[in-house]
Chains A and B, each alone.
Chain A
Amino acid sequence: MTRLTADSLADSERPVASPDGRAADDQPKWRRDFPIDSGQDDYVSRRELVKFMVLTSGAFVAGQVWLLVKSVFEGSAAAPPAMAIASVDELPVGGAKTFEFPAGSPPRLLVRTGPASFVAYDQQCTHLLCPVVPAFEQNRLHCPCHNGWFDLATGQPVAGPPRRPLPRVTLELRGGTVYATGVELGES
């Protein structure tokens, strides 16, 4: 094991910090990105930090702009045409029926509150999207998942975890038929 070569080290075979023998600046980028020395490995330059912060906050800004643009375009979408959802005789006072408006939407809930009065809301609770059920005797809508309560007349949350009102479906009574004419998103 202790055999020594007679010649001493020639300059060309002097070991250097990198295997290919080139200077640190001439090394490929991956070698500079993954340095062996722990000092360089832990080092974050000011430029890197600033770049990271700018790009991250830029991403946040871009996200906000995207949300804004999206909401503008959604708001300008044409209101869906009125749709017959039930006949007046179909439901007793206090009775309820689910429907989709427009077709393919999340389920909505129609409740007959009086001889000639109807209300309709999104059936999804504004807390965690559980379906709400009418509690007509208490004049409320109930979400049994987390005991959330909404006012039947306005859709406003009155108790439990929900903090936002249920989106309301505007209705119109024509002859003996209930038509849905639009959806009012509750202010969030």
Chain B
Amino acid sequence: MPVPERHEFFVDPARCIGCQACIQACSECDTHKGQSMIQLDVLDRAGSTQTVPVVCMHCDSPTCAEVCPADAIKRTEDGVVQTARKPRCIACNNCVLACPFGVPKMNSRIGLMMKCDMCYDRTSVGLKPMCASVCPSQALSFGTREEMARLRPNARPVNAFRFGNQTIRTRVQLMVPADAADGLVDVTAAMFEPGIGHDMLEDVFDAASARSDS
């Protein structure tokens, strides 16, 4: 049974309080007991307590599946990119390196890539994903677009991202301020923005361009 089109997954990193409830809830699941498929990233450990929950964005053109040499990552007809198929995954780490959002992680103990599949066993029967059902600040929330518009008038969903030359549209929606300009989230450009990007990144890119110039 496919996940209903009107039910969408909304991620609002600004609401994340870093409580790790999503990680606990994810690892409770019987299909991957003890292993969380969601990660909590700390943006700048030295300067801020801000955390970001990392769930699979379920891309239109999933880079993880594109680069998989074993044909192990498949997308269902409702656009949900599933975790690697156990008999096919060869633990090569291609998807881990390729995903622009940093979602797939390799479980090297069992040699299997495991990533968020939006709790397909739950969402396909109309339940919320585990993380969204426990998130106390609803940084992760699962519902209809009308619900979100009513509950969060100051934000609106965006699902297009640019990573350098690659533009990606995702099934999962990212909440941005309602007054932000139309368009897509330019991740590469944001990396250079003071206060958002890391200083080290500029060093890396400057060094790279200096090398290519000479």
Contacts and interface: CB of A to CB of B under 8 A. Distances in A.
Interface of A: 1-9, 13-19, 34, 36-39, 41
B66 interface: yes
Contact of B166 (A7, A8, A19, A37): A19
10 contacts: A1-B190, A2-B174, A2-B176, A4-B180, A8-B182, A14-B167, A15-B160, A36-B66, A38-B82, A41-B74
Contacts, number: 82
Interface residues of B, number: 38
B13 interface: yes
B121 interface: no
B189 A37 contact: no
A3 B196 contact: yes
A14 B160 CA distance: 9
B60 interface: yes
A38 B74 contact: yes
B183 A2 contact: no
A13 B13 CA distance: 26
A41 B184 CA distance: 31
Contact of B183 (A7, A14, A19, A34): A7
Contact of B189 (A3, A18, A38): A3
A147 to B, nearest CB: 44
A39 B77 CA distance: 7
Contacts of B185: 1-4
B108 interface: no
B86 to A, nearest CB: 14
Contacts of A8: 182-183
B160 to A, nearest CB: 6
Contacts of B174: 2
Given A4-B176, A15-B160, A17-B61, A37 B74 contact: yes
Contacts of B181: 4-6
Interface string B173-204: 01011001111111101100100100000000
B75 A6 contact: no
Nearest to B14: A2
A1 B62 contact: no
A16 B60 CA distance: 7
Contacts of B73: 36
Given A9-B167, A14-B167, A36-B66, 15 more contacts: A1-B13, A1-B190, A3-B193, A4-B184, A8-B182, A8-B183, A9-B160, A9-B183, A15-B169, A19-B66, A36-B65, A36-B74, A36-B75, A38-B76, A39-B76
Nearest to A18: B61
Q: Which 10 A-B pairs have the closest CB atoms?
A: A38-B74, A15-B169, A3-B190, A2-B176, A36-B65, A5-B183, A13-B167, A8-B182, A4-B181, A4-B180
